[in-house]
Copies of this chain bind each other. A is one copy, B any other.
């Protein structure tokens, strides 16, 4: 049975579920709106550890969330990554970047002040749930 890794549990806010992936919002770095997709599958660490038949549907979910996050944030650039060296549960970062943001043009990991959303992310979560419309998702 799928359970979220405790580190991801602590660092994120729940947006909702797509057919395969849980969609989480990083609560720590509001300067770059940062979503994390976690396929609700067990025993996956690398991206291709996914069951064969789940790989392309997960990549469709990545595309969907990527484009909606870009739309809602009007980002200058999107960053996507599956790293997971420290947290051994497959998770995919989708991050909205802005020219001149705190880590620009470098990657965000290990950079930038912890800057939680002032309202515990409520406004951002509401906006994301509206734009993502997770229940209506159709690959």
Contacts and interface: CB of A to CB of B under 8 A. Distances in A.
Interface of A: 45-48, 55-56, 59-60, 63, 66-67, 70, 77-86, 97, 104-107, 109-110
Given A59-B59, A77-B46, A85 B104 contact: yes
Interface of A, secondary structure class, is mixed
Q: How many copies does the complex hold?
A: 2
Given A47-B66, A86-B105, 7 more contacts: A77-B84, A79-B83, A81-B107, A85-B106, A85-B107, A107-B109, A107-B110
Given A79-B83, A82-B79, A55 B47 contact: no
Contacts of A59: 55-56, 59
B85 A83 contact: no
A81 to B, nearest CB: 4
Nearest to A64: B48
Given A46-B66, A47-B80, A77-B46, A85 B97 contact: yes
Given A46-B78, A80-B81, A85-B97, A107 B105 contact: no
Contact of A48 (B56, B63, B82, B86): B63
Nearest to A104: B85
